[in-house]
């Protein structure tokens, strides 16, 4: 491998680091993705916090940010509700009779 790296002009450490990055997959990650996908199909209105709570109840310890990133990557995040600001005043029609 050393000769191949030398021919390509790449350090051995760089080659092995890139190789490790390309092949490294967390064994838990695939399971988490599948569970999140299934739970989102069963509960289409749930957001990442509720999905995380369901996973926790099932005994799967995972970070909320991980659930959010999986849902975002799969396109399963919910559109956030936007509320219009409530007005606290009523427009009043009145006439000015005299100046100050």
pLDDT above 70: residue 61: yes
Q: Is 80 within a domain?
A: no
Q: Is 62 within a domain?
A: yes
Q: Is 43 within a domain?
A: yes
> Tokens 């956030």 — which residue?
80
Print the domain residue range for 59: 2-74
Work out how many domains the chain is built from and give that number. 1
Residue pLDDT, tens place only, 8-56: 888 888 888 887 776 655 658 888 999 999 999 999 999 999 999 999 9
For residues 50 and 45, give the distance between their C-alpha atoms in angstroms, rounded to a whole number.
10
**pLDDT value of residue 91:** 72
Residue 59: left if φ>0, alpha if ψ -120 to 50, beta else—which one? left
Which pTM value belongs to this model?
A: 0.56
Q: Is 81 within a domain?
A: no
Residue pLDDT, tens place only, 84-99: 888 777 777 777 777 7
Q: Is 59 within a domain?
A: yes
**pLDDT value of residue 80:** 79
């Amino acid at each position: 491998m050393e000769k191949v790296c030398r021919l390509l002009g790449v350090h051995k450490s760089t080659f092995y680091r890139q190789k490790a990055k390309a092949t490294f997959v967390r064994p838990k990650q695939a399971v988490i993705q599948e569970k999140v996908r299934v739970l989102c199909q069963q509960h289409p209105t749930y957001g990442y916090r509720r999905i995380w709570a369901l996973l926790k109840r099932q005994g799967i310890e995972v970070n909320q940010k991980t659930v959010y990133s999986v849902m975002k990557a799969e396109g399963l995040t919910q559109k956030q509700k936007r509320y219009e600001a409530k007005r606290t005043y009523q427009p009043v029609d009145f006439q000015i009779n005299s100046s100050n």
